[in-house]
Amino acid sequence: MNKIGIFYGTEQGMTEMMAQVMYRVLGDDIASEPINVNRASVAKLLSYKALILGMPSYGVGEIPGRTTGSEEGNWEEFLFRLDEADLSGKRIALFGLGNQQKYYDRFAGSLIHLYHYVAGYGAEVVGAWSTAGYHFTHSNSVVDGKFVGLVLDHHNQPEMTKSRILDWLDQIKPALLEKLN
């Protein structure tokens, strides 16, 4: 597919809302309408070379899905279906949602699993994001001093959400567009 694919999992709708904001900012000439992974086929995801994937944090930093009490499918079920697919040649940017005030010792901890899955299946992960401006004691999703993707806390820092999304999209857009040519 000659556009950026946007896929997300969500329980309460916030990750979907952020995916929709990203889609609107990028525009439908370069991005496809966001798809919930509980309705997505593996073939659909594999049809994109450039992807943005979004995941909220649940459980004790596990992959959201039935294990963390999900009613519908989430990333846990999708990653099971993905089943070691070959993601080499794909460039992927990740974003994760969390609540740094309530879960300060495992802030946005689920995102690291998505990072390990897609990197392990051969994708190039772009879009690491500074931890500056967040207040937490621990996050599994920090590698080499940075979050493995954009982290949003719309519960406690709603006023920063839009500018974080805009800055991050500016950062990753050239790398993702390169894959569309």
Residues near ligand FMN (CB under 6 A) are 10-15, 56-58, 61, 97-99, 103, 106-109, 155
Query: In the complex, what is the shortest distance from the CB of residue 65 to ligand FMN, in angstroms, rounded to a whole number?
Result: 12
State the burial class of residue 35 (Cβ atoms within 10 Å of its Cβ: 0-12, 13-18, 19+). middle
Query: In the complex, what is the shortest distance from the CB of residue 89 to ligand FMN, in angstroms, rounded to a whole number?
Result: 29
Q: Give the Cα separation of 156 and 175 in Å (integer).
A: 30
CB count within 10 Å of CB 71 equals 8
- Which residue is nearest to ligand FMN, using beta carbons? 98
DSSP 36: E
Residue closer to ligand FMN, measured from CB, 137 or 181: 137
Residue closer to ligand FMN, measured from CB, 90 or 168: 168
Query: In the complex, what is the shortest distance from the CB of residue 19 to ligand FMN, in angstroms, rounded to a whole number?
Result: 9
Please enumerate in sequence order all residues whose Cβ is within 8 A of that of 155, keeping only pairs 6 or more positions apart, or say none: 99, 101, 102
Residue closer to ligand FMN, measured from CB, 60 or 89: 60
Residue closer to ligand FMN, measured from CB, 56 or 85: 56
Query: In the complex, what is the shortest distance from the CB of residue 34 to ligand FMN, in angstroms, rounded to a whole number?
Result: 12
Q: Give the Cα separation of 116 and 119 in Å (integer).
A: 5
**Would you say 65 and 75 are in contact if contact means Cβ atoms under 8 Å apart?**
yes
Query: In the complex, what is the shortest distance from the CB of residue 130 to ligand FMN, in angstroms, rounded to a whole number?
Result: 17
Residue closer to ligand FMN, measured from CB, 97 or 128: 97
**Would you say 19 and 34 are in contact if contact means Cβ atoms under 8 Å apart?**
yes
Q: Give the Cα separation of 44 and 39 in Å (integer).
A: 10
